[in-house]
Structure formats: structure tokens, C-alpha cells
Amino acid sequence: MTRDDPRDTADGAARPGPASLTSLLASLDAGAYVVDAQGTVMAVNAEAEKLLGRSAGDFVGHDAHELLHRSRYGATLPRAQCGMRQAYMAGRTVQSEEEWFERGDGSLLQVSWLVTPCRTDDGAARTLVLFHTPHDPEETRTPGDRFRSPLPELERLALLAETTTQLTATLDVQQALRRLVRLVVPLLADWAAVDLVTERGRVRRSTVVHAEGGDLVRREDLEGSLSPVPEDSPVPLARALRGVSPALAGPSPRLATDSPLGAVQARLFAESGIHSAAVAPIRGVREVLGALTLGRAGQREAFTADDLPLLEDICRRAGLALDNARLYERQRTVAETMQRHLLPQLPQVPGLEMSARYLAAPDASQVGGDWYDAFVLSDGATALAVGDVVGHDLDAAAGMAQIRNVLRAYAWFQQDPPSVIVSRLDRAAMHITDVTMATLLFARMSRAEDGRWSLSWTNAGHPPPLLVTRDGEARFLTGGHGLLLGTALNRPRPDGEAEVPPGATLLFYTDGLIEEPSRSLDEGLELLRGHAAALADHPPGRFTDLVLERTRPAGNDDDVALLTVRVPVE
């Protein structure tokens, strides 16, 4: 029985998984589940469902680490720090006495566990995970249940270490803020508000959250732009935004009348029921980046001066992380802006509709060598190109611009077949550009006197273009395929030719649209073909957007360029 084939157990619950795994797990009194070599849950028993408050459907097919493994403060563990995941990935038998799993309602369950390799009847390697709780399973907790003020020294050090790990693991400002408030709420407070000073000196309340059960609830109605920081205001928030040391705060009749900034803080206290707060500056290396306000409501004990050193330490770490994230975002914006300016505006060609998209890599340097181009030639034909220069940095982007400009010059002055143009480009590139290797698809699109459109092209190691008819038939144009640029092998390049029927769409793209480590290139191409065929009746711009949205792998770390061309309907 496969993962997708459920088996009914005696208690009526469906626990998908191979029959041998299902029977094995049903015989165990402890919570148990089985994962495959990638850590994906294959089967689970009823005890695990009960302990963790999750159904079998919540388990099976999901990554066990992402689903369950948490720090004692409720944060998702970095994979490199997860002992359980390291054990089953290494195929070793390991046990631990104190770890934390997240239950279905968001609460944390302390567990003792053992993992050990096992094999199914068909010989497939699996890992069995056994776990139990040393406490009454009803005595689960949210992170806030450990609320003590001030924290014991060991817990304080653990929290600071967790703060450093969590915040330095991302270069995204918003993600860093989400991690920051998750670390301090509800462990240290019921409410948290983060105010950031923008690069232009303005202040924005970017995040307001509070604890509700095991979840953090965002209050967007309390967020937004704030007034400038008054230079002489004694309000703790104003002082923190000026870089003054942490201070205790709370509701006060004078707060609302002190300044517009004080009125915003007074509204936060009134809306939340905060009776005690602590406010600290978030300092970067060179300037104050913002402030963190922690608030306690209800029956929570008030903040004291003993809590301020911990808050200051947390904000110091947050400041360094935000400083790095801002610097990275600034560099990324400059690089991506340069990349977009290097890409051309599409020409207006009578009878043709064109659309293009460039999507930067999400986790790389945000700039690379993927590019597209379209321009009208001296004989009236339309040149179409898409390429990929090896690399993901400014050098790759600069090389892309060099290749594109040389190609434009050759194509404009020499009315030769695409193969001849690209052969000359290949020979010249190694001498007049900094490009070591690249792929390129270059095509000429022309219209005959009878109104028919045709495409001729040559392909230098690039994914093949896709032709989609108005009826939804899609096929790859696999002809004209030759070596990529930069091999130094002077071999003839072939040309491909095809008629483009009325209403048909041509799609040129780079490999970031189809490549993913978990699937083959053929699978990626077939996925693209299927989606493009289903979208044939959409306008070119919408067609391009939907193809990109549906086909691009979720975990892709490559940039993507697409060029869509549609011929008119007669």
C-alpha cells in the first residue's frame, strides 16, 4: 500500500502508509511515525495523533522537521541544529530526553524520543521515530506558560543564543521582525510593537502582535506611519527612538497630550490593556534603527528594572541583524535596478503582441545573467533572443549586457541566418567580452507576403522554445540545437524553421523556470508544456504571468527571464 493509499484501522482512523508500516506502528504504545530518506512522514499511529492533536492527514506527506521540531521557545529549529533530523538523515539510532514538538493547536509538548533506521518489506530505507512525554499530555504549554520575571540565568542565556541564531539566519527585514516578536511573545510579554526608523528619517510602526492561545495575532489597525520623533519629549518611546537606554513605561493621562508620538503609544496601551511596558532602542552599527515595546496585560506581573538588561541585550542583537538585513536589501535593490535597466523595452511590431518578465532569484544575489531581447532588424524582421550567462552576480549581469550588445550589432548589420550570427558572436565573445560561458536562443521572425508568419532560429545549449496554438496544442521546437557559447569548438551551428499559425503563442524562457533538484529536466519541461497549453486563450501578459506563477519551482534559487510573442488571428 502506498502513501496515497489509506488503510482503515480498528478505531476507524485512516493512517496512510504501507501495510507493513501501518501494522508496525499500530502495535506500539508510544507515539510513533515513520519518515523516508528526505524526512517526509510516511505513516503515523493513533498515539501520535492523540499526543500531538493532529490527524494522520496532517502528518503524512509533510516534512517532519518543519511540522514538529521546535525550540523550547516555540521557534522552528534550524535544520543544522536539529539532532533528530541529523540522526535520521545519517541513518543512526539516537535518543534524547528533552525536545519540543508543536501540537496542532500551536502549543508545545516536551518529549523524549528515539529514532532508529528500519526497512519496509520492499527493502526501502525508512526511519522509525518513537516518542513519549515525561509529563501528562494534557499539561502541554504555550511558550508564555514559562513566563517568569526576570528569567533565570540559564534561560536568559538560552534565549539570547536563540535570538542570535534566529535573527542572523535571515537577511530579510520582515522575516527578522517576525522572528523577533515570536521569540519575546509570549515568553516575556503579552504584546510587542516594533517601530522602525526609515532611511529618510521617518518612523513607522511596522509590527504589532499579541499572544492569543498558542498563536500570535497581528494588529494591523495599530500599525502605520508615526509622527517625527520630538527632540525634547520625555516619553520612553521617543527617548528610545533617540537612542536613550531602555526604560519602563505604562499608561499615563499625560501620554496622549505629550506629542503625536505619545498619543500613538497611549492608543496602544488603551487598545491592548497593557498595564506595564518596557521600551528599548534597536541600535545598528551607526544609527538607531528603531525601538521595541513589550507590554504586559491582564494578571501578568509588571516589568521591573531587572528586566531591562535582558531587553537591551535582545535589542542589541536585533539591531545587528536588522543592520545587516538593511544593507543587504539596499545592495540587492541597487543590483536588481541595474539588471532591470539593462533589459530592453519591447518594440512595437505591427501585428505582434509581446510580453516579457524578469524575476530575480529570491535567495541568491538577486541579480544574474538571465536576459531577453527583442528588436526590429534592418530588413523588417523581428529578432528575438533569450539567454543565460553563467553566474549569479554583477559580473554575470555585466556579461549579459556585453553579449546582448554584440548580438544586436551583428544581427542588425548582417542579414544572415541566426546560426551564422551566433557563430560570429561565439568567436568574438571570448575576445571582446568577459563572458566565459553562456546559453543563447536567437531567432528571426518574419512575415511573408501572404500574411503567414515564420520563425527561424538557432539554439546554443538553451532550453527549446515552446509553440502553443490557439487551440491549446503545445510542442517544443527542438530543431537548431547546438553547443553553448564559450566552448572554443568551431563547429557549424544548425538552424531550425517553423511556421507560426495565426493566434499561436511563442514562449522563450530560461532554465530557472523548469529546473528543480527534486525533479528531472524532462519533468520540468512537461510541466511547462501542460500549463502553457491550458493557458493558451489568455492575453499574452496574463499568459506570461500565469506560466511563471504555476511553473516556477517553489524552492527555486535561480533568476528567470521569459519572452512571449503572439501572432495575430487572420
CATH (domain of 30): 3.30.450.20
Single residue among 98, 119, 141 that ends a domain in this structure = 141
14 within a domain of the structure (yes/no): no
Tell the burial category of 32 from Cβ atoms under 10 Å away from its Cβ (0-12, 13-18, 19+): buried
Q: Tell me the H-state helices in 97-169.
A: 153-168
User: Do both 358 and 437 map to the same domain?
Assistant: yes
Q: What is the mean pLDDT of residues 117-122?
A: 77
What distances in angstroms separate CA 223 from CA 192, 202, 220, 268, 293, one per listed residue?
A: 12, 14, 5, 10, 13
Count structural domains, the chain: 3
60 within a domain of the structure (yes/no): yes
Span of 21-35, 55-69, 216-230, 233-247 with lowest mean pLDDT: 21-35
The model's pLDDT over 315-338, given as tens digits with 9 standing for 90+, comes to 999 999 998 888 877 776 766 666
User: Do both 137 and 172 map to the same domain?
Assistant: no
Is residue 271 within a helix (H) or strand (E), and if so which, with residue range? helix 260-272
Query: Three cell numbers at 212?
Result: 492569543
560 within a domain of the structure (yes/no): yes
At residue 94, the pLDDT reads 85
Domain span at residue 107 reads 19-141
User: Do both 102 and 177 map to the same domain?
Assistant: no
Tell the burial category of 274 from Cβ atoms under 10 Å away from its Cβ (0-12, 13-18, 19+): buried
1 within a domain of the structure (yes/no): no
Q: What is the mean pLDDT of residues 76-93?
A: 79
User: Do both 305 and 352 map to the same domain?
Assistant: no
Which stretches of 103-189 are assigned E, i.e. beta strand? 108-119, 125-132
Given a cut of 60, whether residue 147 has pLDDT beyond it is no
Q: Mean pLDDT in the chain?
A: 85
User: Do both 132 and 175 map to the same domain?
Assistant: no
Given a cut of 90, whether residue 447 has pLDDT beyond it is yes
338 within a domain of the structure (yes/no): no
User: Do both 150 and 118 map to the same domain?
Assistant: no
Percent residues over pLDDT 70 in the chain: 88
User: Do both 159 and 292 map to the same domain?
Assistant: yes
372 within a domain of the structure (yes/no): yes
Single residue among 332, 354, 371 that ends a domain in this structure = 332
Question: Do residues 289 and 326 lie in contact, with contact meaning Cβ atoms separated by under 8 Å?
Answer: yes
CATH (domain of 386): 3.60.40.10
**Angle of the 308-342 helix axis to the 394-413 helix axis, nearest 10:** 10
User: Do both 124 and 151 map to the same domain?
Assistant: no
Q: What is the mean pLDDT of residues 391-408?
A: 80
User: Do both 447 and 541 map to the same domain?
Assistant: yes
- The backbone region for 243, taken as left when phi is positive above 0, alpha when psi lies in -120 to 50, beta otherwise, is left
User: Of 439, 454, 357, which is closest to residue 403 (Cα–Cα)?
Assistant: 439
127 within a domain of the structure (yes/no): yes
Which three-class secondary structure state does DSSP give residue 204?
strand
β-strand pairing of 453-460 with 481-482: parallel
The model's pLDDT over 56-69, given as tens digits with 9 standing for 90+, comes to 989 999 999 889 98
User: Do both 84 and 220 map to the same domain?
Assistant: no
User: Do both 560 and 503 map to the same domain?
Assistant: yes
Question: Do residues 297 and 275 lie in contact, with contact meaning Cβ atoms separated by under 8 Å?
Answer: yes
Q: Which residue has the cell 564559450?
A: 486
Question: Do residues 422 and 460 lie in contact, with contact meaning Cβ atoms separated by under 8 Å?
Answer: yes
Cβ atoms < 10 Å from Cβ of 212: 12
What distances in angstroms separate CA 425 from CA 94, 380, 417, 437, 464, one per listed residue?
A: 58, 21, 13, 12, 20
pTM of the full structure: 0.52
Bridge-partner residues for 496, per DSSP?
457
391 within a domain of the structure (yes/no): yes
CATH (domain of 260): 3.30.450.40
User: Of 244, 248, 243, 246, which is closest to residue 284 (Cα–Cα)?
Assistant: 243
Single residue among 301, 332, 363 that ends a domain in this structure = 332
- Give the separation between CA 372 and CA 498, rounded to whole angstroms: 21
The model's pLDDT over 346-362, given as tens digits with 9 standing for 90+, comes to 999 998 999 999 887 66
User: Do both 123 and 62 map to the same domain?
Assistant: yes
